[in-house]
Structure 1
Amino acid sequence: MKKYLIQFKPFLIFIGTFFLAYILLTLIYKFYLNSYAANDVDGITAIVGRNVEQVMQMFSCDIKIQKSIFYPNLEVWYNKKFTIRIVEGCNAISVIILFISFVIAFSGKFKSTLLFILAGTIFIYILNVFRIAILTVLLYRFPEKEHILHGVLFPLIIYGLVFILWIIWVNKFSKYAK
């Protein structure tokens, strides 16, 4: 048994570090969410909504994003038509937590790890804002394609780009880089 522990030590350290970081960050996020009333939109989701509105206004879109009176979400009105809802799960924090946990598990030098986490988090956040803006326009034009756009294409894009960031991290900056 000791032989296997020694043989798989790097893998076990990676798995342990990843899950520890993931659980810790998720708990912190859950405590943050619990600080809001059950029928209230959390602050991060509200900021994402404002940023989506700002991006779409830069492109002269007729956009209005407002808090729902009945549910803890934001209603997106595009060309005066209700198009989508922005809920807590749309703010990309769960994707960012996954990204950070992986980078920490494959950490490199402290400074490069911290800078990559910061840059990657900003990239994912901005990508997510544009994802919601583009999704709004596409679902306005093609509401019948909601499953393929929201359920397949856009998750594939965001998780695919996070995967590419991980590959860049492991190959260029982590302690396992050449």
Structure 2
Amino acid sequence: MRKYLIQFKPFLVFIGTFFVTYIALTYIYKIYLDSFEVSDLDGITKVVGRNVEQLMQLLNADFIVSKNLSSSWMDVWYNKKHMTRIIEGCNAVSVIILFVSFVVAFSGKLKPTFFFILFGIFLIYILNVIRIALLVVLKFNFPEYAHFLHGVFFPLVIYGLVFALWFFWINKFSKYAG
């Protein structure tokens, strides 16, 4: 048994570090979410909604994002038509937690790890804001593809970015980079 523990130590350290980081960050996020009333919306999701609206108004689109008064989401209006709602799950925090956990599990030196995590969080956040804006516009113009766009295409895009960041991290900066 000891032989196998020694043989698989790098893998076990990776798995252990990944899960400890993932569970810790998820727990911290849950505490954060629990600090809000059920009918309220968390601050991160509000900022995401505001940034989506700012992006679209920058492009001169008739786009309004407003807090729903009776529920915990933001309503999205495009060209005077209610298109969708932004809920807590739309803020990409769960994707960011997954990204950070993986990078920490494959961490290298502290400074590059810290800056790569910040860069990755920023990139994922920006892509998520663009994703929501594009999803609304595409859903408006191609409503028959709404399920495909929301359930397949855009998750593929955002997780594809995360995978590309991980691949880049492992090959250039992690302690396993050659």
Unaligned runs of 5+ in 1: none
* 2:119 is aligned with 1:119: yes
Unaligned runs of 5+ in 2: none
3-state SS of paired residue (1:123): helix
1:67-146 correspondence runs (5 A): 67-146=67-146
1:1-178 correspondence runs (5 A): 1-178=1-178
Tell me the distance in 2 between the aligned counterparts of 1:22 and 1:168: 20
Tell me the distance in 2 between the aligned counterparts of 1:38 and 1:126: 27
What are the superposed Cα offsets for residues 107-155 of structure 1, whole Å, 9 maximum, x if unpaired?
A: 0000000000000000000000000000010011112211100000000
3-state SS of paired residue (2:99): helix
How many residues are matched?
178
- Structure 1 residue 70, shift from structure 2 partner: 2.4
Tell me the distance in 2 between the aligned counterparts of 1:57 and 1:110: 39
Q: AA paired with 2:75?
A: E
Tell me the distance in 1 between the aligned counterparts of 2:70 and 2:102: 37
Q: AA paired with 1:51?
A: N
TM-score, length-normalised on structure 1?
0.99
Tell me the distance in 1 between the aligned counterparts of 2:39 and 2:139: 26
> Pairwise CA RMSD of aligned residues?
0.5
3-state SS of paired residue (2:84): strand
Sequence identity percentage: 65
3-state SS of paired residue (2:102): helix
Shift >6 Å, 4+ stretches: none
